[in-house]
Chain A
Amino acid sequence: MKLSQIGDKINIINNDLQDFIRETDASNIILCDMGGEILTYIGNNSPFDFPNIAAMAAGSYATTKGIANLLGQKEFSLLFHQGSTNNILISNVENYAIFIIVFDNSSVLGIVKQKSRDLKTKLDVTFKDIVKGKGIIVKKAKIFEEHKNIEEKEEKSVKKKEETRSTKKEEENEKESKKFDFDSLMIDDLDDIF
């Protein structure tokens, strides 16, 4: 979700974030898009570098999402990092946005977690509203892509065709021979080096 798409709904979002800060005593909350671009932030004046925090949080979220995919799990709903005085909690709102909460030990972890779940629900409603109202299509962030093994697919189709038409085989072979071949790389180019 981009800021330009949110429009004046940003006021509703800001109110929700403000409520969250009041209820949890967290020092800051940052809302950014899936790429780490800041949409809005609320909290006390702190010396933290919000743009960089948002960019790193997006990377952190994307990699955990990738890990979740590998493990066959939908996602990790909550990322929690505990430091000696400051802590960070990162959560996503579907594919719309990510929020990052910075809080110190004067906040109660259980409350921060609970309220962040509530906030997630509220933001989700707002974002769905925006999408519906404007007919925006939110493309899924391509967070983790395991490219399909094109070659294997081709090899399979070669076999199929072999059974029916043998003339196709030559075409496929030609296609295959156009592919880079590391065997020739090893022998012709790198042999003297290796």
Chain B
Amino acid sequence: MTMLNFAKKEVICKIVYYGPGLSGKTTNLKFLYDKMRSKYKGKMIAIATETERTLFFDFLPINLGQIKGFSLKYQLYTVPGQAMYTNSRKLILKGSDGIVFVADSQITRFDENKQSLRDMGHNLAEQGLDIRTIPLVMQWNKRDLPSIVTVQTMEQVLNFRKVSSYEAVASSGKGVFETLKEVIRLVYLNIKGEE
């Protein structure tokens, strides 16, 4: 839900990192939080269980500076990937302007990516949003692990819209920033009206 705040001269957009449990969504946000210069980031919240699984959501607000006299702000969220938190996932998607789908490249996790993607389509629709048109970026994560699906297969099966995709190792930061940049770009293009 892009909010144009003329009173405070701000544009605020919401980006949600979605994907199956343990695919690396929280790791993406943590890396961004650790590596970003202070002036671009706010405080991060992680609502997690004692085993560090996301219980409700993670939240990281970022501020990209001035554009057309407005400060451009993005609020990054992650959903909890575990099956039991299906209602929470639906809640977090409310009013999202862009999605990063974080897929787990491991062969053993491949089917869970498919399930999660379909679940996302359904949950988006429940919030009045369309998986076929919402700004979307794919991330093939955990490329450092031994038994992984080829990028070609990931593309073929999961990238149903042929959107931009990035190979990533979120735990070391590879591909994390590139993914964010692309989703920022897509969301921005979407809110930029005609001159």
Residues of A in contact with B (beta carbons under 8 Å apart): 33-37, 51-52, 55-56, 58-59, 62-63, 66, 95, 138-147, 149-152, 179-182, 185-186, 189-190, 193-194
Give bound CA distance, A185 to B65, whole Å.
11
B64 touches A142 (CB 8 A): no
Give bound CA distance, A185 to B35, whole Å.
14
Chain B residues with CB under 8 Å of A181's CB are: 37
B47 touches A63 (CB 8 A): yes
A139 touches B50 (CB 8 A): yes
Give bound CA distance, A87 to B117, whole Å.
35
CB-defined A-B contacts under 8 Å, sample of 15? A35-B51, A36-B55, A51-B84, A62-B47, A62-B56, A63-B56, A141-B48, A142-B50, A144-B45, A146-B44, A147-B30, A180-B36, A182-B64, A189-B181, A194-B67
A-B pairs with lowest CB-CB distance, top 7: A35-B49, A59-B56, A139-B50, A142-B48, A145-B46, A141-B50, A182-B40
**Minimum distance in angstroms from A108 CB to a CB of chain B:** 30
A66 touches B43 (CB 8 A): no
Give bound CA distance, A194 to B67, whole Å.
7
Chain B residues with CB under 8 Å of A194's CB are: 67, 188
Query: Which residue of chain A lies nearest to B68 when distances are taken between CB atoms in the complex?
Result: A194
Chain A residues with CB under 8 Å of B115's CB are: none
In residues 32-84 of chain B, which contact A (Cβ within 8 Å)?
33-38, 40, 43-53, 55-56, 64-65, 67, 84
User: Is B136 positioned at the interface, with any CB of A under 8 Å from its CB?
Assistant: no
Residues of B in contact with A (beta carbons under 8 Å apart): 30, 33-38, 40, 43-53, 55-56, 64-65, 67, 84-88, 177, 181, 184-185, 188-189
A145 touches B48 (CB 8 A): yes
A144 touches B47 (CB 8 A): yes
Q: Taking A62-B55, A144-B47, A147-B33 as contacts, is the C-beta distance between A182 and B65 under 8 angstroms? A: yes
Give bound CA distance, A135 to B88, whole Å.
34
Chain B residues with CB under 8 Å of A142's CB are: 46, 48-50, 52
B55 touches A58 (CB 8 A): yes
B181 touches A150 (CB 8 A): no
B84 touches A186 (CB 8 A): no
Give bound CA distance, A142 to B54, whole Å.
9
Give bound CA distance, A175 to B84, whole Å.
41
Chain B residues with CB under 8 Å of A143's CB are: 47-48, 55
B47, B51, B52, B67 interface centre (most CB from chain A within 10 Å): B47
Chain A residues with CB under 8 Å of B49's CB are: 33-35, 141-142
B45, B53, B67, B86 interface centre (most CB from chain A within 10 Å): B45
B51, B55, B88, B185 interface centre (most CB from chain A within 10 Å): B55
Give bound CA distance, A22 to B51, whole Å.
35
**Minimum distance in angstroms from A15 CB to a CB of chain B:** 27
B33, B56, B64 interface centre (most CB from chain A within 10 Å): B56
Chain B residues with CB under 8 Å of A56's CB are: 87-88
Chain B residues with CB under 8 Å of A179's CB are: 35-37
From A36, A63, A139, A147, give the contact of B84 (CB < 8 A): A36
A59 touches B55 (CB 8 A): yes
A56-B88, A59-B88, A95-B50 given; name 20 further pairs at CB < 8 Å.
A35-B49, A35-B53, A35-B55, A52-B87, A55-B84, A63-B56, A66-B45, A138-B50, A140-B50, A142-B46, A142-B48, A142-B50, A149-B38, A179-B36, A180-B35, A182-B64, A182-B65, A189-B181, A190-B185, A194-B67
**Minimum distance in angstroms from A17 CB to a CB of chain B:** 22
